[in-house]
């Protein structure tokens, strides 16, 4: 069972995001930005443990998933897919027609397995190859 919970406790988001992205050797300026305080932050919780996080940006008729990740110990155990399912249901309930995201290139197949479609070419963000992806709801 996975629970998605909106949180205002940014210290939890900060700690888990550092754990998620530390293998990329990014600076804190690349992991956090000025939008962190303005956007809705969510924790992915399993058995009362924070196993991941993401934030949502509302853009007219769709949401953009940003900074999504699962703590390394919990990867490949279905938590990311369950979280994406919850995000889809949440988005539909809010009347959104699409979800978009910028995926790290190496993670694109994870999103593709959940129905996301790649658009455009590979580009670099914070020195890491990314692709844009979307899912029609």
Give 68-97 pLDDT, tens digit per residue: 999 999 999 999 999 999 999 999 999 999
- Residue 1 clears pLDDT 70, i.e. is over it: no
Give the integer Cα–Cα distance in Å for 114 and 1. Answer: 18
Is 110 part of any domain? Answer: no
Number of domains in the chain: 1
- Residue 2 clears pLDDT 90, i.e. is over it: no
Do the Cβ atoms of 70 and 54 come closer than 8 Å? no
Give the integer Cα–Cα distance in Å for 103 and 18. Answer: 18
Task: Give the domain range for residue 31.
Answer: 3-96
Region 41-47 average pLDDT? 96
- Residue 9 clears pLDDT 80, i.e. is over it: yes
Please report the pLDDT score of residue 6 as a whole number.
94
pTM score, two decimals?
Answer: 0.94
Is 71 part of any domain? Answer: yes
Is 136 part of any domain? Answer: no
CA proximity to 2, closest of 80, 64, 55: 80
Mean pLDDT, all residues of the chain: 95
Report CA torsion sign: 9, 21, 77, 109: positive
Is 10 part of any domain? Answer: yes
CATH number of the domain to which 90 belongs: 3.40.630.30
Is 38 part of any domain? Answer: yes
């Amino acid at each position: 069972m996975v629970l998605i919970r909106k949180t205002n406790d940014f210290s939890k988001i900060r700690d888990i995001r550092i754990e998620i992205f530390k293998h990329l050797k990014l600076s804190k300026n690349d992991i956090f930005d000025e939008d962190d305080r303005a956007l809705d932050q969510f924790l992915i919780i399993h058995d009362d443990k924070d196993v991941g996080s993401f934030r949502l940006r509302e853009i007219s008729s769709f949401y953009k998933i940003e900074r999504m990740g699962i703590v390394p110990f919990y990867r490949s155990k279905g938590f990311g897919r369950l979280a994406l399912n919850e995000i889809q249901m949440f988005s539909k309930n809010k009347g959104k027609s699409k979800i978009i995201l910028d995926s790290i290139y190496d993670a694109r197949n994870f999103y593709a397995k959940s129905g996301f479609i790649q658009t455009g070419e590979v580009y670099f963000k914070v020195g890491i190859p990314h692709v844009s992806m979307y899912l029609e709801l």
